[in-house]
Amino acid sequence: MGTRFDTSWVPDLANSVAPKYRTLSVAIEDAIRSGALASGAKLPPVRELAWEIGVTPGTVARAYREATEAGALRATVGQGTFVRDRRETGTFIPLHPLTNQTLEGQIDLRNSRSPMVGQEHLINEAIKRVMQRGSVVLDDYTRATNDLSTRKALAGWLAEGGVVADKDAIVPTYGAQQAVLVAMMAVTSGPHPVILVSDLIYPGFQQAAKLAGVTLYPIQSDEHGLQIDALTEACRTARPQAMLVTPNLHNPTLVTMPENRRIQIAELARAHDVQIIEDDVYGWLMESRPPSFPALAPERTWYATSLSKCVAAGLRFGCLVTPPGRGAIGQGIIQAMNYRVSSLIGQTVAELIESGTADEIRINARKHLEERATLLRSYLAPWGVHTAIGANFAWLPLPEGWHLAAFDRACAEAGVRIATAGAYVLPGADVPNKIRIALGMGLSDETFADCLSRISRILAHPPVELMA
């Protein structure tokens, strides 16, 4: 039977142990993320795809319905089912691995979690000490007066990393992604605000931009980060209100901006009166780093960070450092979202910082990441894999003969899930033929090594049809 739809994508469900409708729904989301299913592409009619892959029409219909409800597809009566355009207002495409389920028997190397180095016990002990002191507010909402100790502790922690901030400019948040969302909302106004970003960007920030009603404008990057010529042209023509930068261990490329590039960007932002939003979740695991933007352009930098990568993701704690005198703006936005961060979480974080426990965890986490990166390189160095001290993921260019969709599918069939570059590009942008591999936090060394061995074998055997 000949196909009459505008994609050659045909999923392989042969090795699935999960219900076939669920496997097909996940395959659709993965294909959108990898670029195998382009934005706006028409999917096969239900009966035609059912015939192609050997399942019932009801299975395909149920998978299409589930993917539509998730926001990945749209169905139009009389016209068919299409990949939903990411730019459609109010639509959330499942871009990030966290939004997708891993099928039974598969090992997930997509999520770059914090290393577990015994912090469960240390954090439990910190919570006990906080509760024994009776400083946690349980009979009322957290207010400025009773999160003061948290903000003071954060000010000291930030200063150690070169970010000098008054306590009144520190806004506690539930993680760095919320901090970035608050910053986006604080610095933009008008009907069509624009924020400049790297041409590869963490998918969570794409969803944050949708919530903030912001258009993200991609800027080409090089081995030092955002290109100055491209940034200058965009400042002149796109009329941006802000730029979002990740100068330390950019996700997913691992690029760390040298100091000179940071200075150039700060000067450019001043010249065009553009605000700077800095995302710095990985910098705290580096041995050393160039000055952050609050030190280079304090009057216009909104600095977002968290303890998720360096202490524990489950704390869900971060903060936004605003320019001097603008802390009330950030606090006002947080109050509209969730009033304030829980007193229990805030007091626990303060205890972890002031007792030195947070630093102890951070040092042990960095050591563990270095060991994991060494293990990864022992398997994947011949393929040109990139790692960096402090990063909990690696960046790998695929060799000749492999394309993203086929490689993603081959890894999934081998029981390993990886993240392709397609998850990090904005609609319409070119997708580099590269993948991101998390360093297997939560896995034993033996299990992680087994995953790396599988990936190495797959890299060595590209499909014959792609090599021809």
Contact 380, 374 (CB under 8 A): no
162: pLDDT strictly greater than 90: yes
Tell me where in the chain the CATH 1.10.10.10 domain(s) lie: 20-94
CATH architecture classification, 20-94:
Orthogonal Bundle (1.10)
132: pLDDT strictly greater than 60: yes
Identify the pLDDT of residue 427.
74
* Mean pLDDT value across the chain: 89
pLDDT in tens, 51-99: 888 899 999 998 898 888 777 888 887 888 998 875 554 444 454 544 4
Hunting for tokens 């979002």 — which residue is that?
244
More confident residue, 261 or 463: 261
- Bond into 252 cis (ω within 30): yes
> Any residues with CB less than 8 A from the CB of 389 and at least 6 apart, and which?
285, 286, 287, 366, 369, 370, 373
- The pTM (predicted TM-score) of the whole model is 0.81
**Which amino acid is present at 118?**
G
Contact 171, 179 (CB under 8 A): yes
Cα 442 to the center of its chain, rounded Å: 18
How many alpha carbons fall within 13 Å on the CB side of residue 456? 16
* Closest of 388, 396, 399, 208 to residue 304, by C-alpha: 208
> Any residues with CB less than 8 A from the CB of 418 and at least 6 apart, and which?
109, 110, 407, 408, 411, 435, 436, 437, 455
Contact 432, 449 (CB under 8 A): no
Q: Go through the chain and tell me how many residues it has.
A: 468
Identify the pLDDT of residue 93.
46
31-35, 162-166, 230-234: least confidently modelled range:
31-35
Tell me where in the chain the CATH 3.40.640.10 domain(s) lie: 119-355
CATH architecture classification, 119-355:
3-Layer(aba) Sandwich (3.40)
Strands 80-83 and 393-397: unpaired
Q: How much is the average pLDDT of 197-201?
A: 95
434: pLDDT strictly greater than 50: yes
Cα–Cα distance between 197 and 378 in angstroms, integer? Answer: 34
Which whole-number Å values give the CA distances from 7 to 38, 187, 462, in the listed order?
Answer: 8, 40, 22
Identify the pLDDT of residue 104.
62
3-state secondary structure the chain: CCCCCCCCCCCCCCCCCCCHHHHHHHHHHHHHHHCCCCCCCECCCHHHHHHHHCCCHHHHHHHHHHHHHCCCEEEECCCEEEECCCCCCCCCCCCCHHHCCCCCCCEECCCCCCCCCCHHHHHHHHHHHHHHHCCCCCCCCCCCCCCHHHHHHHHHHHHHCCCCCCHHHEEEECHHHHHHHHHHHHHCCCCCCEEEEECECCHHHHHHHHHHCCEEEEECEECCEECHHHHHHHHHHCCCCEEEECCCCCCCCCCCCCHHHHHHHHHHHHHCCCEEEEECCCHHHCCCCCCCHHHHCCCCEEEEEECCCCCCHHHCCEEEECCCCCHHHHHHHHHHHHCCCCHHHHHHHHHHHHCCHHHHHHHHHHHHHHHHHHHHHHHHHHHCCECCCCCCEEEEECCCCCCHHHHHHHHHHCCEECEEHHHHECCCCCCCCEEEEECCCCCCHHHHHHHHHHHHHHHCCCCHHHHC
**% of residues, the chain, pLDDT over 90:** 65
In this structure, the number of other CB atoms found within 10 A of the CB of residue 190 comes to 9
- Residue 465: pLDDT band (50, 70, 90) is low
Q: How much is the average pLDDT of 237-256?
A: 97
- Residue 123: pLDDT band (50, 70, 90) is very high
Identify the pLDDT of residue 98.
42
pLDDT in tens, 212-221: 889 999 999 9
Tell me where in the chain the CATH 3.90.1150.10 domain(s) lie: 107-113+359-467
Identify the pLDDT of residue 129.
95
Cα–Cα distance between 280 and 320 in angstroms, integer? Answer: 10
* Closest of 43, 47, 71, 44 to residue 58, by C-alpha: 47
How many alpha carbons fall within 13 Å on the CB side of residue 70? 23
| CATH 2.102.10.10, applies to 107-113+359-467 | no
Identify the pLDDT of residue 7.
59
